[in-house]
């Protein structure tokens, strides 16, 4: 199998990030290195997704397969949460398996964006939202968004129910379905921007706590980067999918 230029560049950047992560976790944890390493895990996840999709491995041609992919992803999230933090080898293997599964789940959105020539616009939009929400979270006092949690999770349940209802009770090719799907996508974008604000401040607060309790402990096991990076990874994946749907409509 011949590697494309994109795969080669992505692989090189991936190796550089892994080297930087190794350098960080080999030292005593601080709040700054914790935040930096957590975000490097996020970037590693998306580089792995790029590699998998660039090799055209992520082929899903039916709703049944897609449902199986999402169920497998849910199982892996649960498994990752119950594995003891001391077992970092197994944690990382499950984390990599989850990222691979999510690469398959994102494949239809990536193919849609490529087919409509909107992939650069989608990536730029998601990047701008990520940078803006991260900056905004850093400018507000810690705990500023804590009260948002019940509303964010209620909104998440709401959009899941609305999305499933639209699929089950609508003709997928009708104008009504497309209009409702567009509205749901906009709501999802707003919702996960809120989650980004909440999760970013959560990472900042965790870094401050771990800076104290991880003294003299194994940096990698105490911080548990695979689990702690998951929220931001899921936020960005949902933003990518919703932004692609919104632009495609």
- Confidence band, pLDDT 50/70/90 cuts, at residue 173: low
What is the SS3 assignment for 113?
Answer: helix
What separation in angstroms does the CA of 117 have from each of 40, 58, 80, 102, 130? 28, 19, 36, 22, 22
Q: Quick one: pLDDT at residue 104?
A: 86
SS3 for 248? Answer: helix
pLDDT in tens, 82-115: 999 889 999 999 999 999 999 888 888 888 888 8
Does 234 have pLDDT greater than 60? Answer: yes
* pLDDT surpasses 70 at 67: yes
Lowest mean pLDDT among 33-47, 61-75, 157-171, 173-187: 61-75
Average pLDDT along the chain: 88
Summarised one tens digit per residue, pLDDT across range 138-155 is 999 988 999 999 999 999
Distance CA 174, CA 111 (A): 21
Number of other CB atoms surrounding residue 139 within 10 Å: 8
Q: Determine the Cα–Cα distance for residues 178 and 158; give it in Å rounded to an integer.
A: 18
**Which sign does the torsion angle of CA 9, 20, 228, 80 carry?**
positive
How far is residue 235's CA from residue 232's CA, in Å, rounded to a whole number? 5
Which range (150-154, 215-219, 235-239) has the least confidence?
215-219
Comparison of pLDDT for 239 and 248, the residue scoring more = 239
Hey, where are the domains in the chain? 5-248
Q: What is the pLDDT of residues 3-55, one digit of tens each?
A: 677 788 888 999 999 999 999 988 889 889 999 999 999 999 999 998 888 76
Residue 174 has pLDDT above 80, yes or no: no
In this model, does residue 181 exceed pLDDT 80? yes
pTM exceeding the 0.85 threshold for the entire prediction? yes
């Amino acid at each position: 199998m011949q590697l494309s230029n994109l795969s080669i560049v992505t692989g090189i950047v991936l190796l550089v990030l892994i080297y930087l992560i190794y350098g960080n976790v080999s030292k005593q944890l601080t709040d700054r290195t914790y935040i930096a390493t957590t975000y490097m895990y996020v970037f590693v996840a998306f580089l792995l997704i790029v590699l998998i999709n660039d090799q055209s491995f992520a082929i899903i041609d039916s709703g049944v397969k897609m449902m199986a992919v999402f169920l497998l992803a849910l199982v892996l999230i649960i498994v990752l949460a119950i594995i003891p933090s001391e077992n970092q080898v197994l944690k990382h293997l499950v984390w990599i398996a989850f990222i691979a599964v999510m690469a398959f789940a994102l494949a239809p959105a990536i193919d849609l964006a490529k087919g409509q020539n909107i992939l650069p616009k989608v990536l730029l939009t998601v990047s701008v939202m990520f940078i803006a929400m991260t900056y905004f979270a850093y400018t507000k006092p810690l705990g500023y968004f804590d009260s948002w949690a019940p509303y964010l999770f209620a909104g998440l349940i709401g959009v899941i129910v609305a999305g499933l209802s639209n699929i089950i009770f609508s003709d997928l090719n009708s104008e009504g379905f497309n209009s409702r799907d567009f509205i749901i996508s906009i709501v999802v974008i707003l919702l996960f921007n809120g989650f980004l604000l909440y999760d970013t401040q959560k990472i900042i607060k965790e870094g401050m706590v771990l800076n104290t309790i991880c003294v003299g402990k194994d940096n990698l096991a105490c911080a548990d980067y695979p689990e702690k990076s998951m929220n931001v990874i899921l936020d960005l994946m949902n933003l990518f999918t919703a932004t692609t749907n919104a632009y495609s409509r």
